[in-house]
């Protein structure tokens, strides 16, 4: 009787899970990739879908297609709900699946700090559906302002609030300012879209807090030049249908976007494993779960320490490095070998502020302005999947750059009146 090959279940086909699957492509194991969505999403460009620069299909690809050349990989579209560590199976909405090795790469989502009801009024950006919903709310606000019967209502509808001054908040604020000041400038008759107020709220003392101070000051100045009202040390205390409450005052708004907190997927509760305050599983130095060397948690769902004890950031390169490492570790174990512990290599940080402006920290290199923007654009095009997408996105950006246009300005699935 032929010997059964070890079965590796990878939950989540984001940056980490896909990389783990690929690292096992030449190994004598059966790889099962389980994801609740049928596509892998390039999250760093989600804000461009939310602000009508790119279409969803330009930043997301079917997982099945991405793994079609890997004969030992099978893809199941299913949602994992629990893990039985003793019996070694995962519980999904399509039934149980048994494993010899388990890799959990289910990522993170936005956190409303215990106020999940705010999500209805200030959606966060994590999935394609979130991006198209935000796109709709921004474009609808302009449409409704054109119809508004009085100045106060018009002003409210033309006010956009972004909560959170990290990379996503900065990118969203810059992009909405460009839509208002350039793209839509001549498209309306009763309103002047250039009069829109874009307000970026950050609870801490500066935007882009993980970047060096000079770069975050530069980003703040660049945003202000673009007409964004940047308010640091300002905390949101509540969100409702017509705006946000602050620790000092209130802002009535046509659309609010949440880019503030992050919480890990519930992997820690599936595993009964220790976790940090953001719900990330405290893994061992080889990324395995304490007392379970056959179970690994990687990417945004894991709390990992760098060489100097600093936390490994929740970014795509970190998730990819962890995925590659765990794939190689499983391959080594199957071959009766071992590997040294995981080491994170920090590749730097970047954020774009708008056309012609971005900030980049890459090792000792620091870039800003147009050079930073070129670097940012090339880096993102390089990491997109497929030659066709690289061409389409590069061409779209070039076209938008020259014409100030945004081609994906579609309002779809308009909700009934009164619903965002
Ligand atoms: C708006 C935004 C902008 C970002 N910008 C940048 C950037 O510019 N640069 C950068 O480096 N990083 C950026 N990041 C962070 C980066 O995207 C994440 O660090 C990275 O995606 C983490 O990879 P992951 O594999 O851990 O999880 P993810 O890529 O989030 O993948 C998780 C996968 O698990 C699946 N899943 C979740 N739960 C289940 C379940 N119960 N059952 C089955 N499947 C499940 C999901 O469908 C998803 O496919 C950004 C993130 C966001 C949200």
Mean pLDDT of 140-153: 96
Compute CA distances 13 → 33, 96, 317, whole Å: 7, 19, 15
Report d(CA 144, CA 418) in Å as an integer. Answer: 12
| Ligand 1 pocket mutation pick from 79, 264, 315, 348 by most atoms within 8 angstroms of CB | 315
Please report the pLDDT score of residue 58 as a whole number.
87
Q: Which of 39-53, 152-166, 398-412 has the lowest mean pLDDT?
A: 398-412
Q: Which ligand 1 atom sits nearest the alpha carbon of residue 15? A: 25
Q: Which ligand 1 atom sits nearest the alpha carbon of residue 299? A: 26
Residue 331 has pLDDT above 90, yes or no: yes
3-state DSSP call for residue 398?
A: helix
Please tell me the residue having the least CA distance from ligand 1 atom 53.
126
Please report the pLDDT score of residue 135 as a whole number.
95
Mean pLDDT of 78-87: 98
Mean pLDDT of 51-72: 92
3-state DSSP call for residue 52?
A: coil
Band (266; pLDDT cuts 50, 70, 90):
very high
Mean pLDDT of 240-254: 96
Band (393; pLDDT cuts 50, 70, 90):
confident
Q: Which of 50-59, 234-243, 383-392 has the lowest mean pLDDT?
A: 383-392
Which is nearest to 126 in space by CA: 49, 57, 62, 64? 49
CB of 124 sitting under 6 A from ligand 1 = no
Please report the pLDDT score of residue 254 as a whole number.
97
Mean pLDDT of 104-122: 95
Please tell me the residue having the least CA distance from ligand 1 atom 27.
107
Q: What is the pTM of this model?
A: 0.93
Q: What is the pLDDT of residues 157-198, one digit of tens each?
A: 999 999 999 999 999 999 999 999 988 988 999 999 999 999
Distance 319 CA to ligand 1 centre (A): 9
* Strand duo 159-163 + 108-111: pairing: unpaired
Catalytic annotation present for 213:
no
Please report the pLDDT score of residue 413 as a whole number.
75
Please tell me the residue having the least CA distance from ligand 1 atom 19.
315
Annotated catalytic residue, options 19, 58, 120, 171: 171
CB of 126 sitting under 6 A from ligand 1 = yes
Report d(CA 281, CA 290) in Å as an integer. Answer: 10
Report d(CA 321, CA 313) in Å as an integer. Answer: 12
Q: Which of 94-98, 120-124, 409-413 has the lowest mean pLDDT?
A: 409-413
Please report the pLDDT score of residue 355 as a whole number.
76
Please report the pLDDT score of residue 381 as a whole number.
83
The phi, psi pair for 260, rounded to 5°, reads -100, -60
CB of 61 sitting under 6 A from ligand 1 = no
Q: Which ligand 1 atom sits nearest the alpha carbon of residue 318? A: 19
Distance 36 CA to ligand 1 centre (A): 13
Band (382; pLDDT cuts 50, 70, 90):
confident
Percent of the chain topping pLDDT 70: 97
Report d(CA 64, CA 41) in Å as an integer. Answer: 13
Distance 300 CA to ligand 1 centre (A): 7
Which is nearest to 123 in space by CA: 9, 248, 256? 256
Please tell me the residue having the least CA distance from ligand 1 atom 51.
43
């Amino acid at each position: 009787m032929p010997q059964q090959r070890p079965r590796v279940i990878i939950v989540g086909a984001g940056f980490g899970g896909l990389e783990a699957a690929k690292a096992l492509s030449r190994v004598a194991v059966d790889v099962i990739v389980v994801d609740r969505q049928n596509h892998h999403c390039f999250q760093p460009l989600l804000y461009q879908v939310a602000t009508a620069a790119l279409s969803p299909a330009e930043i997301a690809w079917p997982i099945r297609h991405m793994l079609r050349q890997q004969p030992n990989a099978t893809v199941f579209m299913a949602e994992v709900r629990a893990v039985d560590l003793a019996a070694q199976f995962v519980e999904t909405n399509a039934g149980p699946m048994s494993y010899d090795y388990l890799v959990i790469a289910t990522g993170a989502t936005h956190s409303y700090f215990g106020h999940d009801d705010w999500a209805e009024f200030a959606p966060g950006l994590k999935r394609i559906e979130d991006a198209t919903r935000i796109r709709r709310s921004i474009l609808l606000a302009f449409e409704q302002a054109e119809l508004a019967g009085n100045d106060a209502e018009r002003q409210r509808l033309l006010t956009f609030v972004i909560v959170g001054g990290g990379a996503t908040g900065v990118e969203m604020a810059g992009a909405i300012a460009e839509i208002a000041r350039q793209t839509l400038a001549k498209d309306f008759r009763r309103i002047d879209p250039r009069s829109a107020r874009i307000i970026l709220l950050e609870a801490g003392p500066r935007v882009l807090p993980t970047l060096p101070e000079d770069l975050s000051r530069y980003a703040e100045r660049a945003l202000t030049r673009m007409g964004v009202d940047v308010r640091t040390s300002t905390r949101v205390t509540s969100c409702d249908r017509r705006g946000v409450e602050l620790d000092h005052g209130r802002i009535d708004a046509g659309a609010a976007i949440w880019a503030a907190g992050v919480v890990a997927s519930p992997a820690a509760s599936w595993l009964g494993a220790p976790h940090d305050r953001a719900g990330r599983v405290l893994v061992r130095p080889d990324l395995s779960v304490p007392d379970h060397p056959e179970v690994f948690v990687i990417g945004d769902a894991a709390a990992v320490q760098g060489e100097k004890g600093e936390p490994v950031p929740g970014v795509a390169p970190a998730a990819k490095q962890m995925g590659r490492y765990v794939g190689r570790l499983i391959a080594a174990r199957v071959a009766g070998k071992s590997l040294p512990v995981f080491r994170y290599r920090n590749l730097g940080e970047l954020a774009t502020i708008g056309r012609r402006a971005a900030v980049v920290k890459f090792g000792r290199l620091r870039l800003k302005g147009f050079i930073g923007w070129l670097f940012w654009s090339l880096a993102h095009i390089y990491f997109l999947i497929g030659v066709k997408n690289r061409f389409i996105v590069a061409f779209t950006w070039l076209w938008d750059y020259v014409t100030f246009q945004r081609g994906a300005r579609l309002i779809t699935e308009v909700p009934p009146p009164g619903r965002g």
